[in-house]
Amino acid sequence: MKENIEEELKVAKAATVGAKLLSNELKRDLLYKIAAELKGNVENILHENKKDLERMDAADSRYDRLLLTEQRIIALADSVQAIADLDDPANKLLSSKLLDNGLLVEKKTVPLGVVGVIYESRPNVTVDVAALCLRSGNVCLLRGGSDAWFTNNVLVELLRSVYSKHAVNPDMLQLLPTERKHVTELLTATKFVDIIIPRGSQSLIDFVRENAKVPVIETGAGVCHTYVDKHADLPKAAKIVANAKISRPSVCNALDTVLVDQAIAESFLPILIELFHEQQVRIYADDSSYEILTMLQYPYLEKASPEDFGREFLSLQCSIKLVDTLDDALIHIANYSSKHSECIISEDAEKIAIFMEAVDAAAVYANASTRFTDGGEFGLGAEIGISTQKLHARGPFALEKLVTEKWYVTGNGQIR
Amino acid sequence: MKENIEEELKVAKAATVGAKLLSNELKRDLLYKIAAELKGNVENILHENKKDLERMDAADSRYDRLLLTEQRIIALADSVQAIADLDDPANKLLSSKLLDNGLLVEKKTVPLGVVGVIYESRPNVTVDVAALCLRSGNVCLLRGGSDAWFTNNVLVELLRSVYSKHAVNPDMLQLLPTERKHVTELLTATKFVDIIIPRGSQSLIDFVRENAKVPVIETGAGVCHTYVDKHADLPKAAKIVANAKISRPSVCNALDTVLVDQAIAESFLPILIELFHEQQVRIYADDSSYEILTMLQYPYLEKASPEDFGREFLSLQCSIKLVDTLDDALIHIANYSSKHSECIISEDAEKIAIFMEAVDAAAVYANASTRFTDGGEFGLGAEIGISTQKLHARGPFALEKLVTEKWYVTGNGQIR
């Protein structure tokens, strides 16, 4: 076992200058070559992947995420090729001013430097993140789950060999050892690492937030509300709510709580539970909605406890609360939202406008499923994550956020 | 003494919705009215300022910063008026896409929410920050130094009375009590505060960085290097270096270390010390430059100890080191820079280009004094600070960074 990862961190930092100077064309070409190498090494990759799979119980929920197939490897290669074709976000001129004193003051985008990504057992993250970092001229430090060690290692070595073959420093990409102490080392290496992006479960993100000294872009949990106003089209509302809950309950943009205007609850809930029933969606209901749902004999019903509001269910469960006014809905959301995605369903334009301005979240919706909060759906290309913070990146973010700004000041002897 | 500031934090958060909805015109008008009130209340303000001054030794270096005069109050009012005339950074449409499924996906700028600013005894910060927050629709929590309590209080009450008179929630602006425990409370109030900006000494910034759970924009120290290449115009180089050191040594963009190419050291140092001599600039010299400077009989000379490199002097002192190559200069800067402002002096375009790309700093210079790193000099209007971090804001930043992004998704029943 390694004592520490200082050497890895040092060579990563040292690789930043070379990474920054790679031309747009070379970066694109390297990505095409990587895509080809992935397709040409399917057997080798599957062989290493098998070693990881053999260590995991096939009933484990992570098994399918870890599993690679020929088809999945080809999809990985295609994704690398798509990233190759994206615009280089670095070296863009943001502003340029010639001052009266003759100084030329320019602001340009430049790569962040060393990007550390901490994730779990999805090998596609390994390739995607490495490709996005290369595309933007960043050095990439990967810390994947120990479950995926052999898979990640063969993938990273394949990429590094492409770098070496083309006289590019392979230390631009490194897979870090998986021991926890090295994670803490990475999170506190302010001298060597410019940014950390955690991708994975809430507990991983919490650990990173608690321990990081390096700046973090949080890709956080989604406690998502949908408010059904009394001026909603009820069948449409039920379809949107059901989709937000059922289409993929394990993801962060899935619905957690339905807020229903008291005035339409008795007409709305019967339509909703018709859509919930088949999927056996479990409802944690506040007192007023519990009464209605009991009368309707909905079988998957429990009384909500206080913790069921503000809870991210990540499964076929949700909480329901009746509210008297739009204001009550806004107050509830302000108290319990994780500021990810929030929705109003209404045909009243004024109420929609108030809701969308007043709610403080990365994405606010009118009359559509919150499940759309996604870089691909929003047309951003390869998504890095969905930021729930307010600085630098908010909501779905992609390649263009892997850069920072830098001021270039060119003079001829100017003094102040 | 207060038990805690939870009530202040809560009402601040509650004020964000109203603050966000203020129109551009109203925000501008309020700022004009504030400017007028400042000019109309000079005596009252001076009276309160006197209470603070009486508690401070006139020999204290903070005395002059704390001191208000009629002229300074008028300058404050003029600065508020200038902020009134700046563009509103909020409610700008950043992108708009109509997706194939009919969803309208828009990204707009919105105020950050609650902005906390922690600073020391400069009353101009009180007014400037309050005005910048109002201009951008943010709620503002001020925590100034206890030395300036009476002054800050009269200024804040004056602004709040303008808000009240125009039916705007005065809780958009609050002056917090000065006890240390409340600072910690503010720094950890992630539920109520969206961003903290520390303005002041390094020890203040360090305290904030160590203790904050709320996101911070660091306005950090400047350990600034100027590298004099062997292809420099030496008299020009000496003038730039002297200006960077002498014109205002107490600020973050002042020079700390001169790196001199060995090949021209014997011709350059005599020209430089001619400019340093009158101001009695103390030089901490590495062995090779010490030898030359001793021969030149420079009187304010000491041998550098290792800590003199990477040290922010903030006074008429600097360190000097001779280097063999551009690479040596780059390595030294990479090791010791605080990533604020770094300069090369050379007539060799290729070396300049390498230096400016390779150096990782908020501002890189060719042939000009690093003293220009400043929002006003760069033409940004009222500066909030100079960020030494890479996310969200880098280098001098102003009003336009007091916003975040928000996605607005408008549909008509779309599901995924």
pLDDT in tens, A312-323: 999 999 999 999
The per-residue pLDDT for A219 is 84
Half-sphere exposure in the Cβ direction for B52 (13 Å, CA): 27
pLDDT confidence band for A201 (50 / 70 / 90): confident
A386 → chain B, closest CA residue: B407
Cβ distance B239 to A409 less than 8 Å, yes or no, reads no
Cβ distance A379 to B404 less than 8 Å, yes or no, reads no
pLDDT in tens, B245-295: 999 998 899 999 999 999 999 999 999 999 999 999 999 999 999 999 999
Using an 8 Å CB-CB cutoff, list chain B residues near A247. 415-416
Q: B73 CB contacts (<8 Å, ≥6 apart)? A: B38, B39, B42, B45, B46
The count of other CB atoms within 10 Å of the CB of residue A349 is: 10
Convert A309-326 into a string of H (helix), E (strand) and C (coil).
CCCCCCCCEEEEEEECCH
Chain A contact for B412 (CB, 8 A cutoff): yes
* Chain A from 154 to 183: CB within 8 A of any B CB: none
Segment among A212-226, B27-41, B42-56 with least mean pLDDT? A212-226
Using an 8 Å CB-CB cutoff, list chain A residues near B367. 410-414
Q: B328 CB contacts (<8 Å, ≥6 apart)? A: none
| Residue of A17, A360, A371 with shortest CB distance to B16 | A360
The count of other CB atoms within 10 Å of the CB of residue A394 is: 23
Name the average pLDDT for chain A.
Answer: 95
Residues of chain B with CATH 3.40.309.10: 224-372
Cα–Cα distance between B27 and B402 in angstroms, integer?
15
Cβ distance A378 to B240 less than 8 Å, yes or no, reads no
Question: Does B307 have pLDDT greater than 90?
Answer: yes
* Alpha-carbon gap: B196 to the closest alpha carbon of chain A (Å): 11
User: For A33-43, what is the mean pLDDT?
Assistant: 98
pLDDT in tens, A124-178: 999 999 999 999 999 999 999 999 999 999 999 999 999 999 999 999 999 999 9
Cβ distance B413 to A367 less than 8 Å, yes or no, reads yes
The per-residue pLDDT for B97 is 96
A215 → chain B, closest CA residue: B391
Cβ distance A412 to B367 less than 8 Å, yes or no, reads yes
pLDDT in tens, A223-237: 999 999 999 999 999
* Alpha-carbon gap: B365 to the closest alpha carbon of chain A (Å): 5
The count of other CB atoms within 10 Å of the CB of residue A69 is: 11
Superfamily grouping for domain A6-218+389-410: Aldehyde Dehydrogenase; Chain A, domain 1 (3.40.605.10)
Using an 8 Å CB-CB cutoff, list chain A residues near B368. 103, 409-415
Cβ distance B410 to A240 less than 8 Å, yes or no, reads no
Question: Does A62 have pLDDT greater than 90?
Answer: no
Q: Which residue has the tokens 């001619």?
A: B274
Asked if CATH classification 3.40.309.10 holds for the domain at B224-372, the reply, yes or no, is yes
Convert chain B into a string of H (helix), E (strand) and C (coil).
CCCCCHHHHHHHHHCHHHHHHCCHHHHHHHHHHHHHHHHHCHHHHHHHHHHHHHCCCCCCCCHHHHCCCHHHHHHHHHHHHHHHCCCCCCCCEEEEEECCCCCEEEEEEEECCEEEEEECCCHHHHHHHHHHHHHCCCEEEEECCHHHHHHHHHHHHHHHHHHHHCCCCHHHEEECCCCHHHHHHHHCCCCCCCEEEEECCHHHHHHHHHHCCCCECCCCCCCEEEEECCCCCHHHHHHHHHHHHHCCCCCCCCEEEEEEEHHHHHHHHHHHHHHHHCCCCEEEECHHHHHHHHHCCCCCEEECCHHHCCCCCCCCEEEEEEECCHHHHHHHHHHHCCCCEEEEECCCHHHHHHHHHHCCCCEEEEEECHHHCCCCCCCCCCEEEEECCCCCCCEEEEHHHCEEEEEEEEEEEECC
Residues of chain B with CATH 3.40.605.10: 6-218+392-410
Question: Taking CA B272 as the corner, what is the angle to CA B260 and CA B324, rounded to the nearest 5 degrees?
Answer: 10
Cβ distance B413 to A371 less than 8 Å, yes or no, reads no
User: For A290-310, what is the mean pLDDT?
Assistant: 98
CB B65 within 8 A of CB B51: no
The candidate with the shortest Cα–Cα distance to B239, out of B341, B372, B345, is B345
Q: How many CB pairs under 8 A join A and B?
A: 190
* Alpha-carbon gap: B267 to the closest alpha carbon of chain A (Å): 18
Strand partners for A95: A107
Using an 8 Å CB-CB cutoff, list chain A residues near B409. 363-366, 368, 372-373
| Residue of B379, B396, B416 with shortest CB distance to A243 | B416
* CATH code for the structural domain at B6-218+392-410: 3.40.605.10
Residue B197 dihedral angles phi and psi, to the nearest 5°: -120, 115
Chain B contact for A191 (CB, 8 A cutoff): no
Chain centroid to CA A62: how far? 18
* Alpha-carbon gap: B151 to the closest alpha carbon of chain A (Å): 32
pLDDT in tens, A13-28: 999 999 999 999 999 9
The per-residue pLDDT for B310 is 96
- List the structure tokens of B74: 């008028």
Strand partners for B224: B255
pLDDT in tens, A243-277: 999 999 988 999 999 999 999 999 999 999 999 99
Cβ distance B415 to A247 less than 8 Å, yes or no, reads yes
Q: CA separation (Å) from A112 to A118, A261, A399, B333?
A: 17, 47, 11, 18
Q: Which residue has the tokens 């898979």?
A: A151
Chain B contact for A349 (CB, 8 A cutoff): no
Cα–Cα distance between A362 and A253 in angstroms, integer?
11
Query: Beta strand pairing status for B224-228 and B341-345?
Result: parallel
CB B66 within 8 A of CB B56: yes
Chain B contact for A240 (CB, 8 A cutoff): yes
Chain A contact for B275 (CB, 8 A cutoff): no
CB A215 within 8 A of CB A195: yes
The per-residue pLDDT for B376 is 87
Cα–Cα distance between A415 and B236 in angstroms, integer?
10
- List the structure tokens of B403: 């916003």
pLDDT confidence band for A361 (50 / 70 / 90): very high
Question: Taking CA A261 as the corner, what is the angle to CA A255 and CA A264, rounded to the nearest 5 degrees?
Answer: 110
Q: Tell me the three state secondary structure of residue A53.
A: helix
Chain B contact for A306 (CB, 8 A cutoff): no
A112 → chain B, closest CA residue: B390
pLDDT in tens, B343-355: 999 999 999 999 9
Test the B interface: residue of A228, A360, A369, A402 with most B CBs within 10 Å: A360
- List the structure tokens of A240: 């949107």
Chain A contact for B364 (CB, 8 A cutoff): yes
CB B239 within 8 A of CB B355: no
Using an 8 Å CB-CB cutoff, list chain A residues near B334. 13
The per-residue pLDDT for A278 is 94
Question: Does A381 have pLDDT greater than 80?
Answer: no
pLDDT in tens, B357-409: 999 999 999 999 999 999 989 988 778 889 989 999 999 999 999 999 999 99
Using an 8 Å CB-CB cutoff, list chain A residues near B408. 356, 363-364
CB B391 within 8 A of CB B379: no
pLDDT in tens, B196-252: 999 888 788 889 988 998 999 988 789 999 999 999 999 999 999 999 999 999 889
| Residue of B369, B395, B412 with shortest CB distance to A405 | B395
B248 → chain A, closest CA residue: A416
Question: Does A206 have pLDDT greater than 90?
Answer: no
Q: CA separation (Å) from A218 to A180, A202, B112, B254?
A: 19, 10, 16, 35
Residue B262 dihedral angles phi and psi, to the nearest 5°: -45, -40
Using an 8 Å CB-CB cutoff, list chain A residues near B388. none
Question: Does A1 have pLDDT greater than 80?
Answer: no
Using an 8 Å CB-CB cutoff, list chain B residues near A195. 390-391
Using an 8 Å CB-CB cutoff, list chain B residues near A240. 413-415
Which strands form B173-175's sheet, in the order they lie side by side?
B173-175, B139-143, B114-119, B195-199
The per-residue pLDDT for A205 is 87
Segment among A52-61, B162-171, B226-235 with least mean pLDDT? A52-61
Rg over alpha carbons for chain B, rounded to the nearest Å, is: 24
Chain B contact for A372 (CB, 8 A cutoff): yes
Task: Please count the residues of chain A.
Answer: 416
Residue A2 dihedral angles phi and psi, to the nearest 5°: -75, 145
Cα–Cα distance between A172 and A180 in angstroms, integer?
23
Query: In this structure, which long-range contacts are made by residues A207-215, counting pairs with CB atoms below 8 Å and at least 24 apart in sequence?
Result: A207/A183, A208/A118, A211/A183, A211/A184, A211/A187, A212/A187, A212/A188, A213/A187, A213/A188, A214/A116, A214/A186, A214/A187, A214/A188, A214/A189, A214/A190, A215/B389, A215/B390, A215/B391
| Residue of A247, A368, A412 with shortest CB distance to B409 | A368
The candidate with the shortest Cα–Cα distance to A131, out of A337, A399, A401, is A399
pLDDT in tens, B91-131: 999 999 999 999 999 999 999 999 999 998 889 999 999 99
Name the average pLDDT for chain B.
Answer: 95
Cβ distance A408 to B364 less than 8 Å, yes or no, reads yes
Using an 8 Å CB-CB cutoff, list chain B residues near A363. 406-409
* Chain A from 243 to 272: CB within 8 A of any B CB: 243-244, 247
Q: Tell me the three state secondary structure of residue A258.
A: strand
Using an 8 Å CB-CB cutoff, list chain B residues near A239. 413, 415
Chain A contact for B390 (CB, 8 A cutoff): yes
A177: DSSP letter = P
Using an 8 Å CB-CB cutoff, list chain B residues near A394. 404-407
How large is the ipTM?
Answer: 0.93
Cα–Cα distance between A120 and A280 in angstroms, integer?
30
Using an 8 Å CB-CB cutoff, list chain A residues near B390. 112-113, 194-195, 215, 404
pLDDT confidence band for B61 (50 / 70 / 90): confident
* Alpha-carbon gap: A405 to the closest alpha carbon of chain B (Å): 6
* Chain B from 6 to 25: CB within 8 A of any A CB: 13, 16-17, 20-21
